[in-house]
Amino acid sequence: MDEEYRNRKYVIIAIKKLRSATTLEITNQINEDIKHYNNNLEKRIESEYGYNDKILSPGDKKKYFNKERRKYIALRTVQRAVRALNRLGILYKRGKQYSLSPNASKEMRYFSDDFAIPAVSSVTWFPIKTVEQSLEELIVRYGVFIAFVFIEATRSIITKQPADNIDKKKLFNSWLHNALPIREMFDFFFKLYRGKDNSSDTELSEKTIEKLTRILDRKYPEIYKQLVESKLATIDEKKSVIEDKMSQLEIEKSIRLSTKRIKPGESRRVYIGRSTLTFTFNPPVPKDWYSQLEAE
């Protein structure tokens, strides 16, 4: 995301919070959000990546923080962004106050960060009865979720003046990048099928993997066959590349293993962007759930 588009997005998010504000009030809100982000940077990085001093040296850690830390924004930078958004009809001006126009208020793609996590939490709330039923349900729900995001991505941008192709492309890319929180989607999948005695944060047991793949093969034979053929073709062509990357994969595995586990019913604070969220693995599983995972 380039600096100009990022600043415009900062302005839109700030006005959404304030409802109506002057450029000075918008600037203060943006910088307050940046201050909150920077103050919680270490906790956010540890929550997302789970690294410690054994994996990153203090020097590397400082460099990483400096790279991720956000810079405060100047009033004149906000004024430029506000003028551009006002010309496009995204903002409405009354006196010295700016607010979101009716069209922008309905344009959810500007607020992809606010949409993604609540949407996944809603989609993954369903009755869990058996391994097979839950996997089928998850496939349908994730499929509908992805289709919904794709459909929303294709909508026209309604503005007072025609938006140029660059603005359209940036909004499109930002929406696709942020509206599908792949890690959170994977986390739900993994925690559902991890099993009772599995200490890994990324690896399922071979027995569980075999059980899940059998379900895919039985329920969706054509699609599963195509994916397996693609996998085999990729492994054959990229064998030497895979061998060269083993050390990097081992490093990534160590990072993932250092993250804390969340069991069914537990919750923890998760820092995502400028927001602090409580992520909970909520859906109750049947009493014989772990027995189902272990059964042949």
Cβ pair 205, 195 in contact under 8 A:
yes
Q: Give this prediction's pTM.
A: 0.65
What's phi and psi for 183, nearest 5 deg?
Answer: -65, -45
- Write out the H or E segment, with its range, that includes residue 36: helix 23-39
Q: Which residue ranges make up each domain of the chain? A: 3-105+183-294
DSSP bridge partners of 270: 277
State pLDDT tens for residues 89-130. Answer: 888 899 999 998 887 767 778 778 788 888 998 999 999 999
Is 267's pLDDT higher than 60?
A: no
Q: Which residue has the tokens 């941008």?
A: 157
Residue with the bigger pLDDT between 64 and 153: it is 153
Percent of the chain with pLDDT strictly greater than 70: 73
What confidence category does residue 280 fall into, taking pLDDT thresholds of 50, 70 and 90? Answer: very low
State pLDDT tens for residues 212-255. Answer: 999 999 999 999 998 888 888 777 655 544 444 444 455 444 43
Question: Inter-axis angle of helices 221-237 and 206-219, to 10 degrees?
Answer: 130
